[in-house]
Structure 1
Amino acid sequence: MVTGTPAARPAAPGLRRTDHAALRLLAALLPAGFRDRQHAEWTGDLLALADSAPQDRRRYLIGAARTLPSLRRLVRHGGAGGTPVALPGGVRDTAARVLLLGLLWPILSWLLWIPARYYGFDIPGRLERGNHEFLIDPKTVWPLDGTPGWLDVIWLVPHLGAIAATFGPFLLTIVALVGGTATALRHGRRPAHLGALALIGLFAAFLGAVLFVMSIAWDLPTSDPILVALGVAAVALGATTRTLRRRARAGLIALGLAIIPLLVSFHTAAGHDMYVWFAD
């Protein structure tokens, strides 16, 4: 059924007149049977950005205008009933999402798998009471001890994540590959953006490999600068990326701040003892 024209559509409550006029113009450039649905999607997104800075809404409208050719092709080839084409996010938004989704697994794995188990089960105290005459195998500490053997495959996930977090080149590669892939799958980017994310992932993997070789061949401390850069970027993007939801921004800032104890653990005697225990 052919729907009404944009001119007959009333402005949504809470939507600025200039934004409404821009959406009417953009919708008018779409096929009649498709424009109402797309107009509603754009309107919902702009309402979500109602409290954002004017430049954020302008960037969104510019991005919407850039998608007009792909939307028209989608309708022309009979794809209007499928998944809507997602609007391109800005560089800052994309970087923030990649960092959020990429840091989540390794940082949480490190926190839960190494310091939480080490201090939660009083490994330092038990070693002290035994005068360090015996070792406490990490495999004898929950959850590896006391759970069925077939769960070892599940425990491998936080174990590998914790290892990645403790070595900067690996962490950089994980953030780019996992974060980029998760961002692409979660937000359905256009092919151009999928390609850009793929290039970022490949570049980060290459850079991680180069830094790994440098750290081994020349014994360079590559982990510290990588962790500092990722932590600062996470906190900065979490504080300034207005297009993210508040929970996502808070989570990104928390992940960035969680890198601080990770860094500190590399340079303290207590951290050294913790990693010796974990390596055993």
Structure 2
Amino acid sequence: MVTGTPPMRTAAPALRRVDRATLGLLAALLPAGFRERQRAEWSGDLLALADGGPGARRRYLIGAARTLPSLRRLVRRGGAGAAPVALPVGVRDTAARVLLLGLAWPMLSWLLWIPGRYYGFDIPGRLERGGHEFLIDPKTVWPLDGTPGWPDLIWLVPHLGAFAAMYGPLLLVVVALVGGGITAARHRRRPAHLATLVLIGLVSALLGTVLFAAAIAADVGTSEPALAALGLAAVALGATTRTLRRRARTALVALGLTIIPLLVSFHTAAGHEMYAWFWD
């Protein structure tokens, strides 16, 4: 009887030293309770890519490093293993999105429609050269001059937005209704999210309406505390809400900082002249 030669066992592939070192560094940046699990997953993927050459492994490691920040956020929020889109939205994230979407229209409209046109078309210089003996009607300045009548409804959008930006209580209402409405429409499948937005919208709209009525009754054109509170909230949430993308956080901080020159303009002679021109 002839005994056959047993088949030779193929040695299991091993990770290269540089791959192990890279995975160790990436895993060290993760929370302690999640490191070994994720390192084992990365190691298995790299072993599966052993036949792909060093280029495939290098691209995988670069991709793992790029997604490391989002993975850290996912683990810290207790959502490891779930799709990021399925994570519940917290109160801070909701408030940040409402402010971002609600402040964008009025603040950008104010920048474009009032100081943008006022200084862009050198209204102060033209008034000074004319000895202030004649007025420059805002309707004669772009885009209201030389354009057909049918886009008037389009120009009404930045006009109303600029008007809302100058009145703190009214801006509060706009942020609650516009920002809250858009956010609710984008996340309409989340009942808890909708309930939070409805509550924020009702309280903000009621508070803003009362403050706006009080400001009009007292012949006050603006409510600086409301503007300052919105600006501070936007800057604080933009700087601390890590669940938002970097561009969204930067935009939110920029919108909050835009309220600073708006507030300053209320206390300067140049600002009073600018608003007098706008209302004329």
TM-score with structure 1 length normalisation?
A: 0.72
Query: Is the aligned partner of 1:239 residue 2:239?
Result: yes
Name stretches of at least 5 consecutive residues in structure 1 with no aligned partner: 1-12, 23-46, 65-83
**Are the aligned partners of 1:118 and 1:274 in contact in 2 as well (CA < 8 Å)?**
yes
Give 3-state SS (helix, strand or coil) of 1:89's partner.
Answer: coil
Which 10-residue stretch deviates more, 157-166 or 210-219? 210-219
Query: Is the aligned partner of 1:61 residue 2:68?
Result: no
- Give 1:193 deviation, angstroms: 1.4
Residue by residue over 1:174-216, the C-alpha shift from the partner in whole angstroms, topping out at 9 and shown as x without a partner, is: 0111111111223445122112201211111100111012223
Query: Is the aligned partner of 1:210 residue 2:228?
Result: no
- Give 1:18 deviation, angstroms: 2.8
For 1:148-159, list aligned pairs within 5 A.
148-159=148-159
- Give 1:92 deviation, angstroms: 1.0
Q: Which residue of 2 aligns with 1:50?
A: 68
Q: Which residue of 1 aligns with 2:53?
A: none
Looking at structure 2, the residues matched to 210 and 19 of structure 1 have their Cα atoms a distance apart, in angstroms, of 53
For 1:107-146, list aligned pairs within 5 A.
107-146=107-146
- Relative distance call for 1:221 and 1:159 in structure 2 (3 A) is closer
* Counterpart residue identity of residue 118, structure 2: Y
**Are the aligned partners of 1:88 and 1:189 in contact in 2 as well (CA < 8 Å)?**
no
Q: Which residue of 1 aligns with 2:181?
A: 181
Q: Which residue of 2 aligns with 1:147?
A: 147
- Give 1:238 deviation, angstroms: 0.8
Looking at structure 1, the residues matched to 219 and 71 of structure 2 have their Cα atoms a distance apart, in angstroms, of 46
**Are the aligned partners of 1:239 and 1:253 in contact in 2 as well (CA < 8 Å)?**
yes
- Relative distance call for 1:221 and 1:203 in structure 2 (3 A) is same
Residue by residue over 1:108-167, the C-alpha shift from the partner in whole angstroms, topping out at 9 and shown as x without a partner, is: 000000000000001111111111111111110000112111111111110000000000
Looking at structure 1, the residues matched to 222 and 156 of structure 2 have their Cα atoms a distance apart, in angstroms, of 25
- Give 1:98 deviation, angstroms: 0.7
* Counterpart residue identity of residue 68, structure 2: A
Q: Which residue of 2 aligns with 1:87?
A: 87
Q: Which residue of 2 aligns with 1:106?
A: 106
Q: Which residue of 2 aligns with 1:172?
A: 172
RMSD: 3.0
Query: Is the aligned partner of 1:18 residue 2:37?
Result: no
**Are the aligned partners of 1:49 and 1:243 in contact in 2 as well (CA < 8 Å)?**
no
Which 10-residue stretch deviates more, 181-190 or 117-126? 181-190
**Are the aligned partners of 2:89 and 2:193 in contact in 1 as well (CA < 8 Å)?**
no
Residue by residue over 1:3-58, the C-alpha shift from the partner in whole angstroms, topping out at 9 and shown as x without a partner, is: xxxxxxxxxx9896838979xxxxxxxxxxxxxxxxxxxxxxxx997326957633
Looking at structure 2, the residues matched to 265 and 178 of structure 1 have their Cα atoms a distance apart, in angstroms, of 25
Name stretches of at least 5 consecutive residues in structure 2 with no aligned partner: 1-22, 39-64
* Counterpart residue identity of residue 256, structure 1: G
Which 10-residue stretch deviates more, 52-61 or 187-196? 52-61
Give 3-state SS (helix, strand or coil) of 2:236's partner.
Answer: helix
Looking at structure 2, the residues matched to 61 and 134 of structure 1 have their Cα atoms a distance apart, in angstroms, of 65
- Relative distance call for 1:55 and 1:150 in structure 2 (3 A) is closer
Looking at structure 2, the residues matched to 194 and 163 of structure 1 have their Cα atoms a distance apart, in angstroms, of 29
Identity of aligned residues (%): 71
Looking at structure 2, the residues matched to 139 and 236 of structure 1 have their Cα atoms a distance apart, in angstroms, of 38
